[in-house]
């Protein structure tokens, strides 16, 4: 095995090798100086120091042409390999950082999946070589992925208190009672007690929204008439469109149906409840530049969503 602590490794610099390689490739001190944006005396000095380290001349000049000595030929092969390896390493690192290719992986709770694709589209228009991998899960699955450090970052409804994570508030996420727009309670001013007999569509166990609204209902001593337990926002949305019952849902996830007049927000005292989406990642996580850029766009979109929610319910 080659000696890692050789005289050359201890005493030569990468800059000297770079200057030497350029001279050897061009067979010219002046062309090397031009390529590296150095003065010709500086180029000559770098090669002289390298020759002194090796105690051997690296070039011989015959007429106007520069030729490698036997020692120079041996060093040229090595320096060329070293500089190529460094270039390849830089490309790999840049790939991971997101300058050229690479990927960003993140997982979101189901309620956040509706506004994120817009941000991904904007991001990929600017960084077309970066692959974006988004997974959707409930609170339980997100916490498991955080513990296993599976992704770059996470969007969730409440940052975990028992995990060592960095978190920041991304956007308001108002929760309100909603129903099919043809429901007889639409347009009426209601108390939560008025809803006790209404068929209620409940999210699955493990859902952050379910855990939250169960605490709200318990505090208000309200027992919903659970008709169906549905796994995810999409089944809930379809259940509302079929007028199967009422529910408490994240308003941003249903904005299209609300704007189209298919689903309506019920006027219930004490609602909407303002929850928030949070962006989180394990403390000490080294984010790639691509991940940082995507997070920046998500925060901008979060500010817009918060402003829309404020205008709708003020």
> By mean pLDDT, which of 20-24, 151-155, 251-255, 268-272 is the weakest?
251-255
Cis peptide before 76 (omega within 30 of 0): no
Residue 253 pLDDT more than 90?
A: no
Residue 27 makes CB contacts below 8 A (sequence gap 6+) with: 65, 66, 67
Residue 313 has pLDDT above 90, yes or no: no
pLDDT digits (tens, 9 = 90+) for 292-302: 999 999 999 88
What pLDDT is attached to residue 3?
55
- For position 217, what pLDDT does the model report? 95
Q: Is it the case that residue 159 has pLDDT exceeding 50?
A: yes
pLDDT, mean of residues 84-95 = 77
- pTM score: 0.63
Sorted by sequence, the CB contacts under 8 Å of residue 302 that are 6+ apart come out as 170, 171, 277
Q: Could you give all domains of the chain from N- to C-terminal order, each with its CATH number?
A: 7-97 (1.10.10.10), 103-171+275-313 (3.40.190.10), 174-274 (3.40.190.10)
Quick one: which of 106, 88, 12, 96 has its CA closest to 50? 12
Q: How confident is the model at residue 172 (pLDDT cuts 50, 70, 90)?
A: confident
Q: What percentage of the chain exceeds 70 in pLDDT? A: 94
User: Does position 309 have pLDDT exceeding 90, yes or no?
Assistant: no
Cα–Cα distance for residue pair 211/100, rounded to 1 Å = 42
Give the pLDDT band of residue 168 (cuts 50, 70, 90).
Answer: very high
Task: Give the contacts of 158 (CB within 8 A, at least 6 positions apart).
Answer: 139, 208, 212, 275, 278
Please, are residues 167 and 282 in contact by the beta-carbon 8 Å criterion? Answer: no
Q: Is the pLDDT of residue 282 over 70?
A: yes
Over range 48-77, report the average pLDDT: 91
**Is 50 exceeded by the pLDDT of residue 180?**
yes
Higher pLDDT, 243 or 80: 243
pLDDT tens across 184-233, in order?
999 999 999 999 999 999 998 888 788 889 999 999 999 999 999 998 88
| pLDDT tier at 240, thresholds 50, 70, 90 | very high
CA-to-CA distance for 170 and 172, rounded, in angstroms? Answer: 7
Q: Please report the pLDDT score of residue 252 as a whole number.
A: 84
Q: Please write the tens of the pLDDT for every residue from 104-135.
A: 999 998 888 888 988 999 999 988 888 899 99
163 confidence band (pLDDT: 50, 70, 90): confident
Residue 1 scores a pLDDT above 50: no
């Amino acid at each position: 095995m080659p000696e890692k602590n050789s005289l050359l490794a201890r005493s030569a610099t990468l800059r000297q090798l770079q200057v030497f390689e350029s001279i050897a490739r061009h067979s010219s001190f002046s062309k090397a100086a031009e390529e590296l944006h150095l003065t010709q005396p500086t180029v000559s000095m770098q090669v002289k120091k390298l020759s002194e380290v090796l105690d051997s001349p690296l070039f011989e000049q015959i007429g106007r042409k520069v030729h490698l000595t036997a020692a120079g030929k041996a060093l040229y092969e090595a320096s060329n390999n070293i500089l190529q390896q460094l270039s390849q390493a830089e490309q790999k690192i840049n790939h991971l950082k997101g300058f050229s290719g690479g990927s960003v992986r993140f997982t979101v709770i189901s309620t956040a999946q509706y506004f994120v694709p817009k941000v991904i589209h904007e991001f990929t228009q600017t960084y077309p070589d970066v692959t974006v991998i988004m997974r959707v899960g409930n609170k339980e699955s997100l916490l498991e992925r955080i513990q296993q450090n599976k992704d770059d970052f996470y969007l969730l409804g409440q940052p975990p208190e028992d995990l060592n994570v960095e978190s920041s508030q991304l956007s308001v996420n108002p929760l309100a009672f909603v129903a099919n727009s043809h429901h007889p309670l639409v347009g009426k001013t209601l108390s939560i007690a008025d809803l006790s007999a209404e068929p209620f569509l409940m999210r699955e166990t493990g859902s952050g929204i379910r855990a939250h609204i169960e605490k709200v209902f318990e505090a208000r001593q309200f027992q919903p008439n659970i008709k169906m337990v549905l796994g995810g926002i999409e089944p809930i949305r379809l259940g509302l469109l079929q007028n199967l019952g009422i529910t408490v849902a994240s308003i941003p996830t249903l904005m299209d149906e609300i704007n189209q007049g298919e689903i309506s927000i019920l006027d219930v005292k004490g609602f909407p409840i303002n929850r928030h989406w949070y962006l989180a990642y394990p403390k000490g996580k080294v984010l790639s530049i691509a991940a940082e850029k995507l997070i920046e766009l998500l925060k901008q979109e979060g500010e817009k969503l918060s402003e829309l929610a404020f205008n709708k319910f003020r």
